[in-house]
Amino acid sequence: MKKCLNCGFDNKNENAFCCSCGSTDFSEPFGTNDIAAPAQPVPIMPPPPPISAPRPSEPKKPFGFFDVLTILGFVASLVGMICIWVVLEPLAVISSLLGFLKGSRSKGIAAAGIVIAVIAFIIRLFFSLYDNNVIGKWAVEGIFR
Ligand SMILES: [Zn+2]
C-alpha cells in the first residue's frame, strides 16, 4: 500500500494516481503489498573472542623484585641443605612465599623453594635434635630400619 500525500487515501502500490483525488504524490509503499520476510530470529552468535585480553603470558611481565626474591629463596633452600640450614631454610621459606604471593613470574620455582626449604628444615631439625639426644635413638631406627 501507499498513502496519498494529498488526501490520505490508501492506494495500491501499482496505482499511478490516487483513486480518491487523482494526485500522484504518494508516500513510500508500506503494508501488505511488500510482505517483508518474517523476522528471522537473530542467530545467537558466540561472544567474539576478546581482542586484547590480557593473557597471563609470563614472558611479557617485568622481572620484579619478588621474582628475584623467589630465585634467592629457591637457591637458599638448596644451599641450606648443605650448610647453615638454621638460617637459610627459614629465609628460603619466607622469600619463596613472598615470591609466590607477590611475584608475577616463576611461581613454580617459588612453590618448589617452599617445599624444598620446609622439607630440608624438618629433616635437618630432626637430625639436629637426634644428634643432641632430644629425640631418642628409637625414632631414627624406627624410621630407617
Ligand atoms: Zn488522494
Can you read off the three cell numbers belonging to residue 71?
630465585
Residue 3 phi, psi dihedral angles, 5° rounding: -95, 135
Question: 3-class SS at 4?
Answer: strand
Closest by Cα among 75, 64, 67, 56 to 107? 67
List phi, psi (to 5°) of 130. -65, -45
Ligand 1 centre distance from Cα of residue 29 (Å) = 14
Q: 3: helix, coil or strand?
A: strand
In sequence order, what are the beta bridge partners of 126?
none
The pTM is what?
A: 0.44
Query: What single DSSP character describes residue 26?
Result: B
138 Rama sector, left if φ>0, alpha if ψ -120 to 50, beta otherwise: alpha
Distance 37 CA to ligand 1 centre (A): 29
Question: In tens digits, what is the pLDDT along the chain, a chain of 145 residues?
Answer: 899 999 999 999 999 999 999 999 999 888 754 445 556 666 677 776 666 656 555 555 667 777 777 777 778 777 777 777 777 777 777 877 887 787 777 778 778 777 877 887 788 887 777 777 776 666 656 655 5
Domain layout of the chain by residue ranges: 1-33, 61-144
CA of 36 to the centre of ligand 1 (A): 25
